[in-house]
């Protein structure tokens, strides 16, 4: 959410260079009010038990079966929610956790810092998982014809 707002602001700045720039300022005037961690959660009427949730900030890995890198590098928040059960009437999945789908479907950040800041403002007890990036090894088509030592007798 935060990141999409930011992106919107950035885009508007590109489109209307000078006279609309004040719009991209943060909503709260930070000169006067200092937001404390967890305040947003408290003022937005979130039930007590969800105020100090343990969340996990991570960057989803590339799907193993696909090569495209469009979705790589995003940051997400996992609410570690497993309170689910199969509805005995219809076989649908029910959940008792209002945050069950929030992390998966709604929260996506461009950077680790943005995700951390978001979690802090909501007062969540967060843990950040390191992001793994691939090593780039220079390759050459000519390697196919390189002398690779005596042939493998195993196969």
Partner 1 sequence: MTVLQACEIAGVDIPRFCYHSRLSIAGNCRMCLVEVEKSPKPVASCAMPALPGMKIKTDTPLAKKAREGVMEFLLMNHPLDCPICDQGGECDLQDQSMAFGSDRGRFTETKRSVVDKNLGPLVKTVMTRCIQCTRCVRFATEIAGVQDLGMLGRGSGEEIGTYVERLMTSELSGNVIDICPVGALTSKPFAFKARNWELKGTESIDVTDAVGSNIRIDSRGPEVMRILPRLNEDINEEWISDKTRFFYDGLKRQRLNDPMIRGPDGRFKAVSWRDALAVVAEVIHQVKPSEIVGVAGKLSDAESMMALKDFLNKMGSNNVWCEGNGPSPNADIRSGYIMNTSISGLEKADVFLLVGTQPRVEAAMVNARIRKTVRAAQAKVGYVGPATDLNYDHEHLGTGPQTLKEIADGRHPFSSTLINAKNPCIIVGAGVFERNDKDAIFSVVETIAESAKAVRPDWNGLNVLLLNAAQAAALDLGLVPESGNSIESSKFIYLMGADDVNLEKIPEDAFVVYQGHHGDRGVYRANIILPSSAFSEKEGTYVNTEGCAQTTVPAVPTVGDARDDWKIIRALSEVAGACLPYDSLTAIRSRMRTVAPNLLNTDERQPAIFSYSLKPESRQEMSTVPFGTAVENFYMTDSITRASKVMAQCSASLSKK
- List of residues contacting partner 1 (CB under 8 A): 54, 56, 58, 60-70, 78, 80, 82-86, 92-93, 104, 129-130, 132-144, 148-149, 152-155
Cβ nearer to partner 1, comparing 22 with 134: 134
Residue 133 CB, shortest distance to partner 1, in Å, is: 8
DSSP E strand boundaries for the chain: 54-58, 75-78, 84-86, 93-95, 108-109, 125-128
Cβ nearer to partner 1, comparing 22 with 88: 88
Give the number of other Cβ atoms within 10 Å of residue 107's Cβ.
21
Cβ atoms 124, 54 nearer than 8 A: yes
Residue 145 CB, shortest distance to partner 1, in Å, is: 11
């Amino acid at each position: 959410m935060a990141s999409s707002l930011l992106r919107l602001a950035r885009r508007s700045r590109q489109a209307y260079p000078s006279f609309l720039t004040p719009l991209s300022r943060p909503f709260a005037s930070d000169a006067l009010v200092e937001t404390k961690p967890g305040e947003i959660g408290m003022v937005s009427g979130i039930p007590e038990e969800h105020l100090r949730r343990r969340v996990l900030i991570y960057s989803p890995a590339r799907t193993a079966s696909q090569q495209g890198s469009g979705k790589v590098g995003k940051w997400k928040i996992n609410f570690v929610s497993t309170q689910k059960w199969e509805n005995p009437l219809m076989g649908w999945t029910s959940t008792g956790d209002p945050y069950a789908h929030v992390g998966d479907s709604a929260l996506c950040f461009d950077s680790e810092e943005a995700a951390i800041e978001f979690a802090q403002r909501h007062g969540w007890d967060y843990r950040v998982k390191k992001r793994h990036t691939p090593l780039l090894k220079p390759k050459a088509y000519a390697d196919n014809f390189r002398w690779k030592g005596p042939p493998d007798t195993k196969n």
